[in-house]
């Protein structure tokens, strides 16, 4: 008998392992940071007690939600498990504006469920990061939290203090900010992944700030494998950044919403935080 249940914290690793098997290359600390954002919004499908699928439906302040980690184990697909998980997630986020990053093969299904495409997100990889010149940047722990949250809100449809609590303190990660005359002009996070490192978010006032943050973060992870960056394709300056560094596109999603999200400044988004939680 199929059971759809709220996920226990220790089961978050199962969801991230499924994501890794799909080739999504999650971060080593993603499971805890994701789950702690909204423990009630993670669901697991079980057959005879065995986990066979998962979905996350994170509720943020302001009735905004984000769906991710929607995966059924390959040999259990086509048995209605995905449909049951999907209905559970939508029920949990009832009365929310909902976002997701839809993989290409599922975008038509999300459209039928009322999700509209806003733009493409494209993953780029820098296979061999050189050693870049040193940059004068500020460790994120030295930035006033209120100022950082205010900056983050320009690039995300709602506040997400709880998410940032975990994301900015993960092991195997580094977070830096550009601060000028006491004002935050951008910040970025790089974390270790199953393969290399991934930068996200990368938010910046302009291309120069983004470049300084990007190269400083690459210096932390470029000697440990490839570096990945997910950019919104509608930001031409972000496209110029990946072109300047001869990065290669390897994956894409569509940022889709059901309902109208609060406006964000996509010109400041040089790197998406995460495809799973927005």
Task: State pLDDT tens for residues 170-194.
Answer: 999 999 999 999 999 999 999 999 9
The CATH 3.40.630.30 portion of the chain extends over 2-99
Over residues 70-93, mean pLDDT: 96
The CATH 3.40.630.90 portion of the chain extends over 123-271
Supply the pLDDT for residue 221: 74
CA–CA dist 64, 257 (Å, integer): 10
Supply the pLDDT for residue 220: 81
Supply the pLDDT for residue 198: 96
**Element spanning 63, H or E:** none
Mean of pLDDT over the chain:
95
Q: Is pLDDT of 239 > 70?
A: yes
Top CATH class of 123-271 equals alpha beta
Q: Computed from CA positions of residues 226, 173, 139, 154, in that sequence, does the dihedral angle turn out positive or negative?
A: positive
Q: Is pLDDT of 166 > 80?
A: yes
CATH 3.40.630.30 fits 2-99, yes or no: yes
In this prediction, what percent of the chain has a pLDDT beyond 70? 97
Supply the pLDDT for residue 136: 84
Task: State pLDDT tens for residues 85-143.
Answer: 999 999 999 999 999 999 999 999 999 999 999 999 999 999 876 676 667 899 999 99
């Amino acid at each position: 008998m199929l059971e759809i249940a709220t996920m226990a914290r220790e089961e978050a690793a199962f969801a991230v392992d499924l994501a890794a098997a799909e080739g999504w290359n999650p971060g080593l600390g993603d499971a805890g940071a994701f789950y702690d954002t909204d423990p009630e919004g993670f669901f697991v499908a079980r057959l005879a007690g065995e986990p066979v699928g998962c979905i996350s439906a994170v509720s943020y302040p302001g009735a905004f939600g984000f769906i991710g980690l929607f995966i059924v184990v390959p040999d259990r697909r086509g048995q209605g498990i995905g449909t049951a998980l999907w209905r559970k997630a939508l029920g949990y986020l009832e009365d929310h504006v909902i976002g997701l990053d839809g993989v290409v093969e599922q975008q038509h299904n999300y459209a039928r469920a009322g999700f509209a495409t806003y733009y493409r997100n494209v993953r780029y990889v820098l296979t061999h990061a050189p050693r870049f010149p040193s940059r004068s940047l500020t460790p994120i722990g030295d930035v006033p939290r209120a100022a950082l949250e205010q900056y983050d809100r320009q690039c995300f449809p709602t506040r997400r203090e709880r998410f940032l609590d975990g994301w900015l303190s993960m092991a195997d990660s580094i977070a830096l900010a550009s601060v000028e005359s006491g004002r935050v002009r951008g910040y970025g996070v790089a974390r270790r992944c199953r393969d290399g490192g991934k930068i996200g978010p990368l938010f910046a006032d302009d291309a120069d700030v983004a470049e300084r943050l990007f190269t400083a973060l690459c210096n932390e992870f470029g000697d440990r494998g490839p570096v990945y960056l997910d950019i919104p394709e509608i930001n031409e300056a972000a496209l110029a950044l990946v072109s300047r560094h001869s990065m290669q596109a390897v994956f894409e999603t569509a940022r889709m919403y059901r309902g109208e999200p609060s406006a964000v400044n996509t010109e400041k988004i040089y790197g998406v935080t995460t495809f799973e939680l927005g």
